[in-house]
């Protein structure tokens, strides 16, 4: 039996077990609240592992290792931004959101913002939910596309057929068990992901240290980064001119001060762009904040915080190391697709059975994000748009059926988008999601939680302006100069502060 067949068998066993477990958890879902937010009774360790699996998706196992392979030490800035954002979210935001969700009997992300700012709650529900659902169509489509790409690379399965397989893996337990099934299966995904990100770097370092000379590019990470070139061995990347080059010597003799300024600006822009992922983690990603809101009680919130922090520190360290180990094994130009560095390292270092189990972690990451986005979109659409249009209250059974039906419909629409939209369009819209939704709603959540004067009209204005600015900025191409992840947060923050100071809350005194 060849290696591909062994890996395929391992993955099939895993997926059957995962679907079975998800459907089993779905038996506990009796009401719409169970379906949308697990009754707000998640144990802390479940919430933490689910939030981490959802937050990292294929990023921790494909994107970040691939970026580290392509850029070397410079990718540390991205990791620092992400890790700091995650830590601040768990330390300062998670417990507060949990308390607020319990206080206001929250079922969805925009439900919380609307109930906190009731004077314009109706419009916040409509604008917020519609925006999240629209952009998350493409976000889910990107996950299907990523899953299809993974199966295509591993087993040479037609990518379109592979995407259908991914959908068939996601839909059954997601439709049946909703948020509860998704979060509990996320635990398995998160454990497999963290095992992969612990074991792979350790085995990879041992492999490059012991490999015969000439078989691999370098025998250590430091040697690999040095041999790959100065752009790999500095945290400034390509922004730093080669000081030993003739070009630098000539320019430096003519414009010594100007060159220092240009270098400083270039380095600052690169660092800011990489670090800017930080802002999307500050409560603005609905699929992550819902995990905070679903935690059972304050005691469990502390447990979740500790687990979330430890998982994050280990995972990001492991992801960077895998990328750099890839340079040591294959060289800086040894892979056609940088995002295949993780599976390539795994199949090189481990036997087929072990690599099959660990590569399944990549697929697990993709699935954990896809099903979380589907549930979020379905509940936002059901609770904040469809239900009000139908005239308000419905029975638990009717609401539950409605949410399950909407989840199925959204799955099909997302699959069609993945089929017919250019892949660069999908991933461009994913960029909109992190900036337009993440950075915008982070400002709204932070102000809502920590500024008593902040109220509904500024919240609504912040959402609208943040989204419009993101679309205009990215569409104009200016995002290539300064990332909208940073600028959207700044613009949204300015709008939030000024509108709060200038516009009085309805019903407030002079």
> In this predicted model, what pLDDT tens digit does every residue of 4-58 receive, in sequence order?
788 788 888 888 888 888 889 888 888 878 888 888 999 999 999 999 988 887 7
| Band of pLDDT at residue 465, cut at 50, 70 and 90 | very high
285: region left, alpha or beta (phi > 0 left; psi from -120 to 50 alpha)? beta
> In this predicted model, what pLDDT tens digit does every residue of 238-279 receive, in sequence order?
544 444 445 445 545 555 554 444 444 556 666 777 788 899
Residue 400 has pLDDT above 90, yes or no: no
Lowest mean pLDDT among 47-56, 186-195, 245-254, 461-470: 245-254
> In this predicted model, what pLDDT tens digit does every residue of 416-460 receive, in sequence order?
887 877 766 666 677 778 888 999 999 999 999 999 999 999 999
Distance CA 502, CA 4 (A): 63
Residue 327 has pLDDT above 90, yes or no: yes
pLDDT of the residue at 265:
52
Beta bridge partners of 295: 42
Whether 505 is covered by a domain: the verdict is no
pLDDT of the residue at 392:
56
The number of domains in the chain is 1
Whether 207 is covered by a domain: the verdict is yes
Say if pTM beats, i.e. exceeds, 0.85.
Answer: yes
Q: Per-residue pLDDT averaged across 448-477, rounded? A: 93
- Between 110 and 6, the more confident residue is 110
> Cα Rg for the chain, rounded, in angstroms?
23
- Tokens at 253, concatenated: 């003799």
Q: Are 135 and 60 in contact (CB under 8 A)?
A: no
- Between 149 and 487, the more confident residue is 487
Q: Write down the residue that tokens 């997601």 correspond to.
A: 174
- Tokens at 20, concatenated: 């079975």
Angle between helices 352-381 and 109-116 (to 10 degrees): 40
Whether 148 is covered by a domain: the verdict is yes
Whether 475 is covered by a domain: the verdict is no
Whether 89 is covered by a domain: the verdict is yes
Three-point CA angle 156, 341, 63, nearest 5°:
100
Question: Which helix (H) or strand (E) covers residue 218, if one does?
Answer: none
Residue 141 has pLDDT above 70, yes or no: yes
Question: What does the DSSP assignment read for 382-429?
Answer: IIIIIHHHTTS---HHHHHHHHHHHHHHHHHHHHHHHHHS-HHHHHHH
CATH number at residue 55: 1.20.1730.10
> What b/e sequence results for 441-464 when a residue is b if at least 16 CB atoms lie within 10 Å of its CB, and e otherwise?
bbbbbbbbbeeeebbbbbbbbbbb
Q: Are 98 and 292 in contact (CB under 8 A)?
A: yes
Whether 245 is covered by a domain: the verdict is no
pLDDT of the residue at 247:
43
> In this predicted model, what pLDDT tens digit does every residue of 76-85 receive, in sequence order?
998 999 999 9
- pLDDT above 70 as % of the chain: 89
Distance CA 326, CA 68 (A): 9
Distance CA 44, CA 342 (A): 30
- E-state strands within 26-171: none
**Host domain of residue 8:** 3-232+296-422
pLDDT of the residue at 248:
43
Three-state DSSP class for residue 42 = strand
pLDDT, the chain, mean: 85
> In this predicted model, what pLDDT tens digit does every residue of 338-385 receive, in sequence order?
888 998 999 899 988 888 888 777 776 777 788 888 888 888 888 888
Whether 180 is covered by a domain: the verdict is yes
Distance CA 223, CA 243 (A): 21
pLDDT of the residue at 359:
77
Whether 72 is covered by a domain: the verdict is yes
pLDDT of the residue at 419:
81
């Amino acid at each position: 039996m060849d290696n591909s067949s062994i890996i395929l068998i391992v993955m099939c066993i895993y997926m059957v077990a995962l679907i079975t477990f998800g459907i089993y958890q779905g038996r506990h879902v009796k009401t719409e609240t169970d379906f949308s937010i697990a009754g707000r009774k998640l144990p802390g360790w479940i919430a933490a592992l689910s939030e981490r699996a959802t937050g990292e998706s294929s990023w921790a196992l494909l994107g970040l290792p691939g970026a580290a392979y392509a850029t070397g030490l410079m990718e540390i800035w991205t990791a620092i931004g992400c890790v700091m954002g995650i830590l601040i979210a768990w330390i300062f935001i998670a417990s507060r959101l949990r308390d607020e969700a319990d206080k206001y009997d929250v079922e969805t992300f925009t439900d919380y913002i609307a109930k906190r700012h009731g004077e314009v709650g109706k419009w916040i529900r409509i604008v917020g939910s519609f925006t999240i659902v629209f952009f998350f169509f493409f976000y889910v489509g990107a996950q299907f596309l990523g899953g299809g790409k993974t199966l295509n690379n591993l087993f040479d399965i037609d990518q379109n057929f592979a995407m259908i397989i991914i959908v068939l893996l996601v839909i059954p337990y997601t439709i049946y068990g909703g948020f509860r099934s998704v979060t509990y299966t996320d635990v398995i995904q998160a454990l497999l992901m963290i095992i992969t990100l612990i074991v792979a770097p350790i085995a990879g370092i041992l492999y490059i240290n012991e490999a015969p000379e000439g078989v691999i590019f370098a025998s250590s990470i430091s040697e690999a980064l040095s041999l790959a070139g100065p752009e790999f061995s500095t945290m400034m990347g390509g922004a730093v001119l080669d000081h030993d080059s003739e070009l630098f010597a000539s320019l430096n003799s003519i414009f010594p001060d100007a060159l220092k300024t240009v270098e400083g600006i270039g380095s600052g822009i690169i660092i800011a762009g990489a670090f800017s992922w930080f802002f999307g983690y500050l409560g603005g990603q609905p699929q992550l904040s819902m995990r905070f809101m679903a935690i059972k009680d304050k005691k469990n919130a502390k447990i979740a915080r500790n687990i979330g922090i430890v998982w994050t520190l280990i995972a990001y360290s492991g992801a960077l190391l895998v990328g750099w180990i890839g340079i040591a094994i294959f060289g800086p130009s040894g892979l056609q697709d940088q995002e295949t560095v993780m599976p390539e390292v795994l199949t090189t270092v481990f036997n087929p059975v072990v690599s099959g189990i660990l590569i399944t972690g990549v697929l697990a990451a993709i699935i954990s994000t896809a099903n979380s986005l589907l549930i979020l979109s379905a509940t936002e659409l059901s609770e904040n748009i469809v239900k009000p249009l139908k005239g308000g209250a419905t029975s638990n059974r009717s609401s539950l059926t409605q949410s399950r039906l909407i989840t199925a419909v959204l799955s099909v629409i997302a699959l069609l988008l993945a089929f017919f939209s250019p892949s660069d369009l999908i991933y461009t819209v994913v960029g909109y999601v992190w900036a337009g939704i993440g950075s915008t709603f982070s400002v709204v959540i932070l102000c809502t939680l920590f500024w008593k004067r902040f109220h509904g009209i500024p919240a609504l204005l912040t959402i609208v302006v943040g989204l419009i600015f993101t679309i205009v900025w990215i569409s104009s191409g200016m995002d290539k100069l300064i990332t909208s992840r940073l600028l959207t947060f700044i613009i949204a923050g300015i709008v939030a502060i000024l509108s709060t100071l200038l516009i009085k809350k309805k019903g407030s005194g002079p």
